[in-house]
Amino acid sequence: MAAAAMLIEPAPDKTLDAQFRRDVLTGLSQPRKAIPARWFYDHRGSELFEEITALPEYYPTRAEVSILSQRCDELAEAIGRGRVVVEFGAGSATKTPLLIDCIAPAAYVPVDISGDFLRESCAVLAERYPNLPIHPVEADFSRPANIPSELKQHSRLGFFPGSTIGNMDPFAAVDLLRTMRATLGEDSLLLIGMDRIKARDTLVCAYDDTAGVTAEFNRNLAVRINRELDGTIAIEALRHRAIWNEQRARIEMHLEATRDIAFEVAGRRFTMQAGETIHTENSHKYDPRSAATLLYAGGWEPQCTWSDGDENFMVIVARA
Ligand code: AVJ
């Protein structure tokens, strides 16, 4: 049975390094250069993202934390106690405890592709919650994952905070929501954070801060390519751009060449003309209706939606 199941599974994951190389080379070979946003998060990139969350212009983290802390009673009522929390992405030290404190879960299952991030966040939580069973799963959460079988008798709550869903275009987001439903199973709930559509200036400033941290975060992708893939990209010739795409309701980040440049990556040669960009991130924004439509399409029925006082951000509980 196990052997037969293995035969029909897709080829095992290539190593992360090989995936990075493939995504960068493919992305730089397209007529419109683009690299998936997941590759921002090397060690330095994760540090820079932490810094971003504390910037005055970057409202999403503060807004989400304020919802989770101020709506604890309502969250507990909507979710109930004793569920198994399955967090997609290794938990953040600030958000996960807010959830655990209000719903007293039966166990905590962080799913993350990076064993390092997993170990780190498990260690922090184990210290804080010595009686909470923690079952880390090292896996790509965009594929169906197996929840440890000893937890099967509990219903589950998927936890997907931070507006991470915003990095996906709606097609991929619906795919991911359906995969989460398959991972979580019958009777499950999903607690998801989504960033709201708002004034263009507020959005652009959140992704183009005056301290230049987001610019460094964006350029760090090129630094990583140079280091890990033998790249020769002239970092100082790349300018950070944050653009509001009104039609698609998303912030786009790009690295724009300020002059004609040529470089190598992994032995291959690429050129950029002045003004040409590498598209490095999409951050889709939703209003309550478009959020609900996305969730329905992904197999989830919204039950409750909460926003912060400024209506910057939404936290939604949906049921399978
Ligand atoms: C982690 C994807 C939610 O889109 O706001 C922050 C990443 N990029 N500043 C976002 C990010 C630039 C962030 N997410």
Q: Specify the residue for token string 């592709």.
A: 113
Spatial distance between the Cα atoms of 40 and 48, rounded to a whole number of angstroms: 10
Q: What is the mean pLDDT of residues 16-28?
A: 95
pLDDT digits (tens, 9 = 90+) for 238-294: 999 999 999 999 999 999 999 999 999 999 999 999 999 999 999 999 999 999 999
Identify the bridge partners of residue 77 per DSSP, sorted by sequence position.
none
| Residue 33 near residue 233, CB atoms below 8 Å | no
Q: What is the pLDDT of residue 94?
A: 86
Among residues 304, 308, 306, the alpha carbon closest in space to that of 318 is found at 304
Question: Residue 37, by phi and psi: left (phi above 0), alpha (psi -120 to 50) or beta?
Answer: alpha
**Looking at ligand 1, which residue's alpha carbon is closest to its atom 10?**
283
* Range with the poorest average pLDDT among 10-24, 96-110, 187-201, 262-276: 10-24
The residue that leads in pLDDT, 193 or 3, is 193
Checking if the pLDDT of 9 tops 80, the result is no
**Whether the predicted pLDDT of 88 surpasses 70:** yes
Label residue 304 by pLDDT band (50, 70, 90). Answer: very high
Complex ipTM, two decimals? 0.99
- Give just the sign of the alpha carbon dihedral 118, 121, 125, 126: positive
Interval 103-141: pLDDT, tens = 999 999 999 888 888 898 899 999 999 999 999 999 889
Say if residue 7's pLDDT is above 70.
no
- Is residue 218 in contact with ligand 1, taking CB distance under 6 Å? no
Identify any residues that bridge with 253 across adjacent strands, giving them in sequence order: 242, 281
Which pLDDT score, from 0 to 100, does residue 10 have?
A: 45
Distance CA 275, CA 272 (A): 8
- Residue 152 Cα to ligand 1 midpoint, Å, equals 33
Q: How far is the CA of 253 from the centre of ligand 1 (A)?
A: 10
92 Cβ closer than 6 Å to some ligand 1 atom: no
> What pTM did the predictor assign?
0.93
- Are 118 and 90 in contact, with CB atoms under 8 Å apart? yes
pLDDT score recorded for residue 152: 86
Other C-beta atoms within 10 Å of 166: how many?
22
Q: What angle do CA 27, 30, 33 make, to 5 degrees?
A: 60
